[in-house]
Structure 1
Amino acid sequence: MPMPVEALEQHLREAFPDAEIQIQDLAGDGDHYRARIVSTAFTGLSRVKQHQAVYAALKGKMGGELHALALETSAPEGT
């Protein structure tokens, strides 16, 4: 069963309440998304650690309800 974009955004907002989040459904199937997340939570973290934080926020849904997620993560400029 695919993950609705609203559920994906809810998981991300819970984990990164200050974030600017943009989500795009790449295939129109609820299984393939691109997410751009800018959050102070990523300040000082490597790209790998940032992505690990996003996967942790998805609470095991990656690879199940959510098949593919292309990530672009960063801290706000000036932080």
Structure 2
Amino acid sequence: MSARTDVEAQETQATTGVTPNTLGATLKEKLEASHVDIQDLSGGCGQMFEAVIVSPQFTKKTTLARHRLVNGTLKEEIAAIHAWTPKCYTPEEWEKKKAS
């Protein structure tokens, strides 16, 4: 369900309601994320997103457990898009990554 034109892209985002802003707001609210950066890699059609998510809820969780937590939080939104790539960090991991 990828858009072929800008008009189709706008229609897709309007009908699904999935935008980087809505995804970010949900993650901040439900995962208490201190940092969320979502990039639309689909050229604006709202079908392919990559996200950096920093949350204390990721502490002591494996990468798989972190992804499951995020995917469970965004279950309805993910069903409406084509591709979703989360990169999940604890606040401590994020600070180390920024410093390097």
Same fold? TM cut 0.5: yes
Deviation at 1:13, TM superposition (A): 1.4
Q: Is the 8 A contact 2:32 2:57 kept in 1?
A: no
Task: Say how many residue pairs are matched.
Answer: 77
**Based on CA coordinates, which of the two structures has the bigger radius of gyration?**
2
TM-score normalized with structure 1 length: 0.83
Q: Deviations over 1:48-78 (max 9, x none)?
A: 000000011113332x312211111011217
Amino acid at match of 1:19: S
Q: Looking at secondary structure, tell me which structure has more helix per residue.
A: 2
Which position in structure 2 is the counterpart of 1:15?
Answer: 30
CA contact (8 A) 2:38 2:49 kept: yes
Structure 1 residue ranges, 4+ long, deviating more than 4 angstroms after superposition: none
Name the TM-score, length of structure 2 as normaliser. Answer: 0.68
Give the strand-richer structure, 1 or 2. 1
- 1:1-79 to structure 2, matched below 5 A, reads 1-2=12-13, 3-28=18-43, 29-62=45-78, 64-77=79-92
Please report how far the alpha carbon of residue 34 of structure 1 lies from its aligned counterpart in structure 2 after TM superposition.
Answer: 0.5
What is the distance in 2 between the residues matched to 1:32 and 1:59?
Answer: 15
Q: Which runs of 5+ in 2 are unaligned?
A: 1-11, 94-100
RMSD over equivalenced CA pairs, Å: 1.6
User: Percent identity between the aligned chains?
Assistant: 30
Which of structures 1 and 2 has the larger relative contact order (alpha carbons within 8 angstroms, sep 6+)?
1
